[in-house]
Amino acid sequence: MSDRTRKVLVLDHIGYHYYQAADGRPFLPAHENRVSLVTDVRKVDQARGEELEAVVGIPRGDEALLEAAARFHHGAGDPVERVVAISEGLLLAAARLRDKLGVPGPTEQQVLGYRDKVTMKERLRAQGIRVPDYAPFTEDDAEHLLKRYGRVVAKPRRGESSAGIAFLDSPDDLRSFVANRQEVPGGYEVEERIDGTLFHIDSVVSGGVPLAATAGRSIEETTSYRHLGAFRDVAVGPGLTLDRLLRFNREVLACYPDFSGVTHHEVFLNDDEVCFCEIGGRPGGGGIIPGFHSRTGVNLDEVAIKAHLGEEITQCAPPADHLTGYALVYAPAGVLEADLTLPTVDWIIDTQLRFQVGDLMPQPAGWHQAAATVTVRGNSEDEVLSRLDEVIALVQDKLRGGTTTQR
Question: How far is residue 356's CA from residue 292's CA, in Å, rounded to a whole number?
Answer: 27
Average pLDDT (132-140) is: 97
| Residue-level pLDDT at 2 | 44
Regarding whether 360 and 269 lie in a shared domain, the answer is yes
Average pLDDT (23-41) is: 94
Residue range 150-165, pLDDT digits in tens:
999 999 999 888 888 9
pLDDT at position 405 over 90: no
Q: Is 276 helix (H, G, I), strand (E, B) or coil?
A: strand
State the residue range of the domain holding 148.
Answer: 133-192
Regarding whether 207 and 67 lie in a shared domain, the answer is no
- We report the CATH number of the domain holding residue 326 as 3.30.470.20
Regarding whether 106 and 70 lie in a shared domain, the answer is yes
- Give residue 77's pLDDT band: very low, low, confident or very high (50, 70, 90): confident
Beta carbons within 10 angstroms of residue 170's beta carbon: 11
Is residue 118 in a domain? no
Average pLDDT (91-97) is: 95
Q: Which residue, 63, 149, 162, is CA-closest to 117?
A: 162
**How many structural domains is the chain composed of?**
3
Is residue 257 in a domain? yes
Is residue 67 in a domain? yes
Is residue 72 in a domain? yes
Regarding whether 184 and 209 lie in a shared domain, the answer is no
Apex CA 349: angle with CA 344 and CA 354, to 5°? 85
| Residue-level pLDDT at 162 | 82
Contact 325, 375 (CB under 8 A): yes
- Give residue 192's pLDDT band: very low, low, confident or very high (50, 70, 90): very high
Regarding whether 108 and 222 lie in a shared domain, the answer is no
| Residue-level pLDDT at 328 | 98
Residue range 317-347, pLDDT digits in tens:
899 999 999 999 999 999 999 999 999 999 9
Regarding whether 267 and 158 lie in a shared domain, the answer is no
Residue range 315-325, pLDDT digits in tens:
888 999 999 99
Is residue 322 in a domain? yes
Question: How far is residue 370's CA from residue 368's CA, in Å, rounded to a whole number?
Answer: 6
Regarding whether 389 and 300 lie in a shared domain, the answer is yes
| Residue-level pLDDT at 207 | 96
- We report the CATH number of the domain holding residue 148 as 3.30.1490.20
Question: How far is residue 206's CA from residue 42's CA, in Å, rounded to a whole number?
Answer: 35
Q: Which residue, 103, 47, 107, 112, is CA-closest to 73?
A: 103
Is residue 126 in a domain? no
How much of the chain exceeds pLDDT 90, in percent?
89
> Among the three residues 172, 192, 212, which one is the final residue of a domain in this structure?
192
- We report the CATH number of the domain holding residue 93 as 3.40.50.20
Task: Give the pTM.
Answer: 0.94
Regarding whether 209 and 325 lie in a shared domain, the answer is yes
| Residue-level pLDDT at 403 | 60
| Residue-level pLDDT at 291 | 98
Residue range 216-229, pLDDT digits in tens:
999 999 999 999 99
Contact 404, 334 (CB under 8 A): yes
Is residue 319 in a domain? yes
| Residue-level pLDDT at 196 | 94
Regarding whether 178 and 204 lie in a shared domain, the answer is no
Regarding whether 206 and 241 lie in a shared domain, the answer is yes
Residue range 250-308, pLDDT digits in tens:
999 999 999 999 999 999 999 889 999 999 999 999 999 999 999 999 999 999 999 99
pLDDT at position 137 over 50: yes
| Residue-level pLDDT at 160 | 85
Regarding whether 375 and 288 lie in a shared domain, the answer is yes
Compute φ and ψ for 212, nearest 5 degrees.
Answer: -155, 140
